[in-house]
Structure 1
Amino acid sequence: MTHLPHLVTDLALILVAAGITTLIFKKLKQPLVLGYIIAGLLVGPHIALFPSVMETENITIWAEIGVIFLLFSLGLEFSFKKLVKVGGASSVMALIEVVVMLLLGYFTGKILGWNTMDSIFLGGILSISSTTIIIRAFEELGVKSHKFAGLVFGVLIVEDLVAILLLVLLSTLAVSQQFAGTEMLAAVMKLAFFLLLWFLAGIFLIPTFLRRASKLMNNETLLIVSLALCLLMVVLAAQVGFSPALGAFIMGSILAETTKAEKIEHLVSSVKDLFGAIFFVSVGMLINPATLVDYAGPIALITVVTLVGKALSITGGGLISGQGLKTSIQSGMSVSQIGEFSFIIATLGLTLNVTSDFLYPVAVAVSAVTTFTTPYMIRLSEPLYRKVEAMLPAKWLASLNEYSSGAQTISTTSDWKLVLRTYIVNLVIYSVIIIGIVMLSARYLNPFVTETLINGNLGDIVTTAITLVFMAPFLWALAVYHPQKEAQGRIWANKNYRSLIIVLEFGRIVIAILFIGFLLNQFFSVQVAFIGGFLIIGVLAIFSQRIQNFYIRIETRFMNNLNAREISDAAKMHHTLTPWNAHLTSFEIAAESAVAGHNLVELQVREKYGVNVAVIERGDRTIMAPTRNERIFPGDKLYVFGTDEQIETFREFIRTEVAPPTDGQNEREDVGLEKLLVKRDSMLLHKTIRQAGVREKTHGLIVGIEKNGERYLNPDSDMVFEEGDMVWIVGSPSRIKMLEEARQEA
């Protein structure tokens, strides 16, 4: 009989156990992650009822591969572009939650008598919520279109980045075994440097490569290329001292900006599911049931700390950032669990041998309990809001409402702010690129040239020349480029500020010269570097025009690659009117839907459900501000404006009543929820909504007006515009902007 390696028999046992528990948990409508953990517990070394895995070392390797693909997949869903677009409210909520849970975790560990390292890792484990569990719960409960869900998704995006930072910081702390502030700062700076460098290089190179090779790629080759890029970044991250998982996450986030992102995500999902299952089974294998019994008290305490701490910190963060009481409570009750990243942080502590054996199973047990409670917490959020609202004094509620309203201000950007922000961003970006080029040259290019091609000083000169060719466009951009010429020109027109502009310009040039010296100092003495620096500056000045043209081509390609993947319609339409609890959401009209075939006047959408149908998308056409006689077809996408309750009622109506199709012919336009301020010389001033012709001028629909501190949702057409009114319009952003800038005729 042929002998099978233990790796094959162990893998067979793991997948059989995972398959059976998956079916059971599917039937029970419970998260599969929990099923995998229980499968690992059953085939692990601590339970003798079933055959056990024989060589856990091999499974550990498979589990590490599972972590890599799990984080690669999370990176594909993450996208740095999404992070930039996350609202200030979500960022504030996420950061407050992470800080609060880090402190609560640490002090809970200390109260339980645990050592410092266990307490610190416990704080890290409790600070990150589970993206997978929350998304699944939102889908099952049908609340993805609610306003608070958008805030929660933003919180999860910020948390993903914080989790990566925590992995780096905890690794540094584990190695140094002390709170060395300089080491921590160095680790953060190193992470920021390489994140920015890899992102810039990745966006410049990878989308171009995928685009040019697209004719050669079918599903098979695209999968192979994507996994190759993932593992290449894993190796690169390990080379510079980061965890392999970080490299996988970064490559995923780079590929998320390409036009192939969705296809790659689809192709990789099966690979991720396979290795992810092995990872979570291996998590279960490390759990000793006896440990869970011994630590039942700490598990119960940590579970309560997680549920209460996360709910309160996110709710508090929401209120601080200007969200309404209801939205804040709903958000806080949604994120009260720990998940994927918590397992990875716990695994890190075990791998580095800095945490006690009991911490890992405790973390898994808390995750299991909080996973079960998540749907119930979300369901309880609205009743809890009503109770809190009833308990709070009227003065407090009025103050919260006023504060929430005050958070909605129109921000104006001064010329100085524009110029300074541009200077700082350019300085950071070009400095990172230049330092990266010099480091690559010194570490790889110079040894290759001097050892393989040309020896001695001549080899150093050749290396310097090649490096300067790559540095030149970024040196020019750092020293000369003016992306905000108009704003700077307006500042220059004021003689009082000219000296400051001169200082800024001189500072840029000095920094560029210092970078040239930094390059030369890698290969030559200080004296030679000093003299050579002036010669190089002269050469760069002579070829300035060519360098400028080269840089513009580089910037154009980078921006084209960065914007290759258009923002999805759902994300584009996701705006809210805080604190009115009214927002814009979209519905696809299914073929069997009840509303298909009727026009809006027949359906009486506004009269019956209190919502406005602001836009209808039909194929490649967009029907802006549809009239009452507009009919609805199967396949139409309706953008509906209303409160959570109104939208939920309308959703039920769509699912239960009937209607056929019709036509809508308009050029497709961008659609958004925009705000317009009525100024002293505005053409809207002292006109009624009907007289102003806003619908015709913007192809839009007025859905709200804020007037003298009062808010009017779906205002009457006889309402008169006054100076200072804030008008909310669903329509074409460019047309709304033009209307806001239109002035009365003299």
Structure 2
Amino acid sequence: MGHLPKLIEDLALILIAGAATTLLFRKIKQPLVLGYIIAGLLVGPHISITPSVVDSANIKTFAEIGVIFLLFSLGLEFSFKKLVRVGGAASITAFVEIIVITILGYFVGKWMGWSTMDSLFLGGMLASSSTTIIIRAFDELGIKTKRYARIVFGVLVVEDIVVILLMVLLSTVAITKQFEGSEMMFTVVKLLFFLVLWFITGIFLLPTFLRKVKPLLDEETLLILSIGLCLSMVVIATQVGFSAELGAFIMGSILAETTSAEKVEHLFKPVKDLFGAVFFVSVGMMIEPATIVEYRWPVLWVTVLALFGKLISTTLGALLSGQPLKQSVQVGMSMAQIGEFAFIIATLGLTLGVTSDFLFPVAVGASAITTFTTPYMIKYSEALHNGIVKVMPDRWVRGLNNYASSTQNIRAESNWKLLLKSYGSIAVTNGIVILALMLVSINFLMPFLNEAIENTVLRALLVLVLSLGLATPFLWALMAKRPNTLAYKELWLDKKYNRGPLLILEIARNLLGILIISVWVDRLFSTDVAILVAVPIIIVVLVVFSKRIQGFYQRIEGRFITNLNARDIALEASEDKLVRDLKSKFKPEEDISPWIAHIVDMEVSQHAAYVGKTLAQLGWRETYGINVAYIKRGDKVIYAPGRDQIILPFDRLGVIASDEQMQQFKPVFDSLQEVANGTHSIEDIVLLTIVVDEFNRLKDLSIRNSGIREQTNGLVVGIERDGKRILNPEPDTVFHWGDVVWIVGERKKIQQLNAIKQTHNLA
């Protein structure tokens, strides 16, 4: 008998247990993550009545791969441009919530007598909410179309990226054991530097590469390539001192900007689900029930903190961002739970050996409780708002609503703000590329040439020429590229007030470029050589060849912008012009008027009760006060459809409505017609033959008068007569003696026609 590795036995046990709990939790409509954790508890070492995992070391490795793939998948769904589109309201809400709850978590941990590291990791675990749980609750309660739901989704996007950064900071603090402000600031700057560098490099190279090899990529190759890129970035991230999870997330977010993003996400989902299940089961294996009982009071305090701390901090953030009181309370109630990231952060602390064993079960216990309370928190958010309004002084309520109205009206940006943004973008992007080239030339190129070239001066000169040659376009952009904005031109024309500040900006960035060149040369030669020889020569080269350098830089910039916008361009190309016009006027995430109304994109079910009816017959506008802005049918868009327009299955309707109108209208839109539960499948539809004879009595009857359609639920598709075939015969075709008739229909009913002949024969 062959030897079976214990790892395979353990995987079989883990997956069977995970599948069983998944079926149970789907039945009771609870998050699958909790099911996996319970499965891990059952197969873990702390429950003796069930089989236990033996090869825990290898399972731990699989779990680490699961975390990497979960973060890679999150990056695929993330996209940096999605973060930009989130808007100020969601960003302010998220940052206020994260800062407040993280600080509260730290001080509550210290209040309970925990160590500094335990308290820090507790704050980090509380910083994120559960996207899975919130979306499931919104679906069940039918409120995904409400205005505040869009703020919640935006906050979740910001939370994802901030929690990733928190993980990196916590890892750094755990390893260095240093809490000084300067050390933390250096870590943040280093992190931001590598984030921007990886993003610029990835967007410049990866979409172009995928476009070139697209004819060679089938689904298998694309999946293998994606996983290879993910793990490669994981290796790079760990080599420069960051976590593997950050590398996976970065590669996912880079791929999210390519035209292959949806396909990669679809192909990768089974891989993510498999390894993610192993990870969450391994989380459950680390739980000791006795520890949860022993630390029941910390579980209770952390639960209370998650419920009320996140409610208050999120509501405060929403109010500060300019949201009305009711919407702010609804957002706060929706975010009051602990997300899946808590398990990842807790696992990180245990892996690094800096947190106590009890922290993990405390996080799991609090997460389980807040998971069950989330739907009720969301359901009673409006009641809480009404209660607050009753006890709050009227002038406070009016003041909050007036503040919200005033912030909503702030739309325009000053020319100076736009200009400074443009200058900042030029300085940051090009400065980071230049700094990266400098580090590569000094730390890698110089040591590489040490073995090949003995002459020190020649070696330094070669490094300088090669590295600065590559950096020349970016140096030119840093020192001379004009912001391509109308704001710059308008400010420049105002000689009296704006010329002076603009000239100061130009001089400052030229001095910055000269400083960078001086530092670069100084690392290779002496300071005197840098100031007296190298810097003047480099500046002369930049001036003399400025047009060529500018043209080369514009080509680089053009490729980067094309790659960055490739996904959006492909999406726009597939849309009708009317859709683009509509989106330019009405954006689902923004108000469209002084009313509290917004546009919601909704898909018609194939079994909708109103399919086939016109808008006039439905009377939605008269009954519910809603308006249908557009109907998207395949690639065709009907803008401002008329009363006689018919609704068909799978149409996408742009419905303009307030939250109250949508609450009344959505049950009608979601209503389905009664569909008989038939037992037939496509296998029951067959192509069979019968012969016209004295038993079936079809002779001299036409196809229309024969009743074949009614008797067989089928069609006559052919007749064979005297060796000739009549395909798709007309309904008036008359059957002759001995015709072989080909019928497509239900197997049993066609067979019944032939059974008539058999019955007569037996008789």
TM-score tier, shorter chain, comes to: 0.7 to 0.9
* Alignment correspondent of 2:473: 473
Moved more, 464-473 or 621-630: 621-630
Stretch of structure 1 that moved more, 575-584 or 555-564: 575-584
Say if 1:486 and 1:643 are closer, same or farther in 2 by CA, change over 3 A: closer
**What is the count of residue pairs matched by the alignment?**
659
Tell me how far apart the structure 2 counterparts of residues 425 and 151 of structure 1 sit (CA, whole Å). 27
For residues 465 and 94 of structure 1, the distance between their equivalents in structure 2, rounded to whole angstroms, comes to 47
Partner of 2:78: 78
Give the CA deviation at 1:187: 0.6
Aligned to 1:3: 3
How far apart in 2 are the matches of 1:578 and 1:627? Answer: 22
Partners of 1:208 and 1:417 in 2: CA distance: 33
Partner of 1:534: 536
Given that 2:31 and 2:132 are in contact with CA atoms closer than 8 Å, whether structure 1 keeps it comes out as no
The match for 2:120 is 120
How does 1:31-50 map onto structure 2 within 5 Å? 31-50=31-50
**Secondary structure of 2:656's partner?**
strand
Q: Give how far 1:518 is off.
A: 2.8
Q: Tell me if structure 2 keeps the 8 A contact 1:611–1:641.
A: yes
User: How is 1:683-694 mapped onto 2 (pairs within 5 angstroms)?
Assistant: none
Distance in 2 (alpha carbons) for counterparts of 1:607 and 1:58 = 64
Q: Which amino acid aligns with 2:502?
A: I
Equivalent pair of 1:131/1:156 in contact (CA under 8 Å): yes
Structure 1 stretch displaced more, 308-317 or 288-297: 308-317
Distance 2:288 2:22 in 1: 21
2:237 is aligned to 237
Structure 1 equivalent of residue 154 of structure 2: 154
Which residue in the other structure is 2:110 paired with? 110
- 2:615 pairs with 600, 612, 620, which one? 600
Residues 288 and 579 (structure 1 numbering): CA distance in 2 closer, same or farther, change over 3 Å? Answer: farther
Is the CA contact 2:423–2:483 (under 8 Å) kept in the aligned structure 1?
Answer: no
> Residue 324 of structure 1 contacts residue 581 of structure 1 at CA under 8 Å; is this kept in 2?
no
Gaps of 5+ in 1: 659-746
2:519 corresponding residue in structure 1: 518
**Segment of structure 1 superposing worse, 197-206 or 645-654:** 645-654
Q: Distance in 1 between matches of 2:72 and 2:672?
A: 43
Is the contact between residue 408 and residue 578 of structure 1 (CA under 8 Å) also seen in structure 2?
no
User: Is 1:588 aligned to 2:599, yes or no?
Assistant: no
CA offsets 1:406-430 (integer angstroms, 9 cap, x no match) = 1111433333222222112211111
CA contact (8 A) 1:324 1:578 kept: no
Deviation track 1:125-170 (CA, whole Å, cap 9, x = no partner) reads 1121112222232233332222111101110111111101211221
Q: 1:429 to 1:157 in 2, by over 3 A?
A: same
Please report how far the alpha carbon of residue 545 of structure 1 lies from its aligned counterpart in structure 2 after TM superposition: 1.1
- Post-superposition offset of 1:272: 0.7
Pair 1:559 & 2:568 matched:
no
Contact 2:517 2:535 survives alignment (8 Å): yes
1:324·1:404 contact (CA, 8 Å) conserved in 2? Answer: yes
Q: Which amino acid counterpart does residue 507 of structure 2 have in structure 1? A: F
The whole-number CA distance in structure 1 between the counterparts of 2:594 and 2:153 is: 19
Amino acid aligned to 1:602: Q
CA distance in 2: counterparts of 1:548 and 1:319, whole angstroms = 47
Q: CA contact under 8 A between 1:172 and 1:183: conserved in structure 2?
A: no
Corresponding residue number in structure 2 for 1:132: 132
Question: Which residue number corresponds to residue 445 of structure 1?
Answer: 445
Residues 631 and 638, structure 2, Cα contact 8 Å, conserved in 1: yes
- Equivalent residue for 2:749? none
Shift of 1:284: 0.7
CA displacement at 1:621 relative to structure 2: 2.9
- CA, structure 1 residues 160+655, in 2 after alignment: closer, same or farther (shift >3 Å)? closer
Q: How many angstroms does 1:648 deviate by?
A: 2.7
Per the alignment, residue 57 of structure 1 pairs with 57
User: Structure 1 CA distance, aligned partners of 2:36 and 2:270?
Assistant: 16
Deviation at 1:286, TM superposition (A): 0.8
Match of 2:353 in 1: 353
Matches within 5 A, 1:250-265: 250-265=250-265
Aligned position for 1:503: 504
Paired residue type of 1:161: I
Q: In 2 relative to 1, CA 43–452 (structure 1 residues): closer, same or farther, beyond 3 Å?
A: farther
CA distance in 2, matches of 1:497, 1:324: 38
Q: Which moved more, 1:591-600 or 1:311-320?
A: 591-600
User: Partners of 2:485 and 2:395 in 1: how far apart?
Assistant: 50
Counterparts of 1:236-385 in structure 2, within 5 Å, are 236-385=236-385
Shift of 1:585: 0.5
The residue type paired with residue 180 of structure 2 is A
How far apart are residue 622 of structure 1 and its match? 2.7
- SS of corresponding position for 1:575: coil
Report the TM-score, using the length of structure 1 for normalisation: 0.85
2:670 equivalent in structure 1: 655
Distance across 2 between alignment mates of 1:398 and 1:492: 43
Equivalents in 2 of 1:175, 1:579: separation in Å? 53
Measure, in 2, the Cα distance between the counterparts of 1:413 and 1:321. Answer: 17
SS of corresponding position for 2:210: helix
CA contact (8 A) 1:73 1:249 kept: yes
Instruction: Give the deviation of 1:74 after TM superposition.
Output: 0.7
Identity of aligned residues (%): 55
Contact 2:587/2:599 (8 A) holds in 1: no
Question: Residues 465-507 of structure 1, C-alpha deviation per residue, up to 9 Å, x if partnerless?
Answer: 2212221111111111112364333333323432322221111
Query: Deviations along 1:201-240, whole A, 9 cap, x unmatched?
Result: 1111111111111110000000011111111110110011
Contact preservation (8 Å) 1:324, 1:579: no
Shift of 1:453: 7.2
The one of 615, 623, 634 equivalent to 1:619 is 634
Deviation at 1:90, TM superposition (A): 0.6
Matched, 1:415 2:415: yes
Q: Residue 615 of structure 1 contacts residue 638 of structure 1 at CA under 8 Å; is this kept in 2? A: yes
CA contact (8 A) 1:319 1:328 kept: yes
Q: Which amino acid aligns with 2:498?
A: Y
CA contact (8 A) 1:21 1:36 kept: yes
Distance in 2 separating the partners of 1:414 and 1:546 = 34
CA 1:260 to 1:485, structure 2 compared with 1: closer, same or farther past 3 Å? Answer: closer
2:614 is aligned with what amino acid? N
Secondary structure of 1:616's aligned partner: strand
1:496 and 1:579, CA in 2 relative to 1: closer, same or farther beyond 3 A? closer
Distance between the aligned counterparts of 2:356 and 2:593, measured in 1?
Answer: 46
- Alpha-carbon distance in structure 1 between the residues aligned to 2:26 and 2:618: 39
**How far apart are the structure 1 equivalents of 2:567 and 2:381?**
36
Aligned residue for 2:500, secondary structure, equals helix
Distance, in Å, in 2 between the alignment partners of 1:452 and 1:604 is 83
Q: 1:627 to 1:397 in 2, by over 3 A?
A: farther
Question: Aligned AA for 2:97?
Answer: E
Call closer, same or farther: CA 1:578–1:62 in 2, change over 3 Å: farther
Q: 1:78, 1:256 within 8 Å by CA — same for their partners in 2?
A: yes
**Residues 64-106 of structure 1 deviation map (CA, whole Å, 9 limit, x = unaligned):** 1110000000111111111111111111111111112112212
Q: Which moved more, 1:353-362 or 1:313-322?
A: 313-322
Which whole-Å deviations, capped at 9, do the CAs of 1:657-699 have from their partners, x for residues lacking one? Answer: 78xxxxxxxxxxxxxxxxxxxxxxxxxxxxxxxxxxxxxxxxx
1:577 shift after superposition = 5.7
Larger mean Cα displacement after TM superposition, 9-18 or 248-257: 9-18
Q: Distance in 1 between matches of 2:124 and 2:114?
A: 15
Does 2:655 match 1:636? no
Q: Name whichever of 455-464 and 194-203 sits farther off.
A: 455-464
User: Higher mean Cα deviation, 319-328 or 32-41?
Assistant: 319-328
Look up the equivalent residue of 1:504 and give its one-letter code. L
| Letter in structure 2 aligned against 1:124 | G
User: Which of 543, 547, 550 does residue 548 from structure 1 map onto?
Assistant: 550
CA distance in 2, matches of 1:217, 1:138: 38
CA displacement, residues 369-422 of structure 1 (integer Å, 9 cap, x when unaligned): 111222222222233233333444443333332222111114333332222221
| Partner-residue secondary structure (3-state), 1:495 | coil
